[in-house]
Amino acid sequence: MKTRILILLAAVSTAVFAQMTENDVRAKLELINSGKIDQVQSEIPSLQNQYPNDPGVAYLDAMVTTNGSEAAKKYQAIVDNYPNSVWADDALYKVYQYFYSIGLYKTAESKIAQLKEDYPSSIYVKQESVESGNAAQNIQPVMVEPDTANGMTPADETLSSTPAVSTTVVPQPAGAYAVQVGVYSQQTAATKQAAVFTQTVGRSATVFPKESGGKILYAVLFEGFTDEQSARAFGADLKSKFNMDWFLVKK
């Protein structure tokens, strides 16, 4: 009887403390970033049963959650419940990105301050610059022609010494998904940045007004994605090629 109890306790202990390896989690993340979100999404229930209370599985679950508010709650739960996990600083940065994307800048600032205090060695803290009102802080600025039709004047332009980029812009049809790359309080700033993104990426970026906290903000989006996988693949491409942070939007 005693032997059976010990075996049972060992089995329970293994089930409770079993965790995915970091490499296994990163392999799933690669699938998500390559547009195979459905595949990972279908595996989440099985992973949750196999690895209960695993921060890596919780992080994957948050990554495949398409509702931004729900995803932010899941990321925050990782920070709260697994603060020493390898995924905690990533999750906290995702929470910061979410609040920044919806225009709650004070909350976003508190999250980035927490990141710096609790995870000073995080790669996100070590970045040369962190978003502070300019979603394109990590891409080389390009010169854009003043667009008076959109309320922009030469005085509104911030010109750099970088020569103008000659890019063929690809017009995009309407789609159910969009990739958001910034939110601005002024339409002029949003329009200017959309022009920069358009020339840099070679795909039309649009400005879309949205209400947040009783205020009208202006989101800059890349539209025209008919499915979530293609939108996520495009966002991953933005990150790898231009180091641009992005946020999935379902229209």
Q: CA-to-CA distance for 240 and 251, rounded, in angstroms?
A: 25
**Structural domain range at position 76:** 2-126
User: Could you tell me the pTM of the whole model?
Assistant: 0.55
Q: Each residue's pLDDT tens digit in the chain (251 positions)?
A: 545 544 444 444 444 457 888 889 888 888 876 677 889 899 999 999 999 999 999 999 998 887 888 889 999 999 999 999 999 998 998 898 788 777 777 888 899 899 999 999 888 786 534 344 343 333 332 222 223 233 332 223 222 222 333 344 445 556 788 998 888 778 888 888 888 888 888 899 999 888 766 778 888 999 999 988 899 899 888 887 877 878 888 87
Give the domain CATH number at 122.
Answer: 1.25.40.10
Residue whose tokens read 């993340």: 29
197 and 229 part of one domain: yes
158 and 119 part of one domain: no
Q: CA-to-CA distance for 212 and 224, rounded, in angstroms?
A: 24
Residue 106 lies in a domain: yes
Residue 83 lies in a domain: yes
6 and 86 part of one domain: yes
Last residue of a domain, one of 95, 126, 157: 126
Contact indicator for 94, 111 with CB cutoff of 8 Å:
no
121 and 152 part of one domain: no
18 and 114 part of one domain: yes
Concatenating the DSSP letter of every residue in 69-95 gives HHHHHHHHHHHHH-TTSTTHHHHHHHH
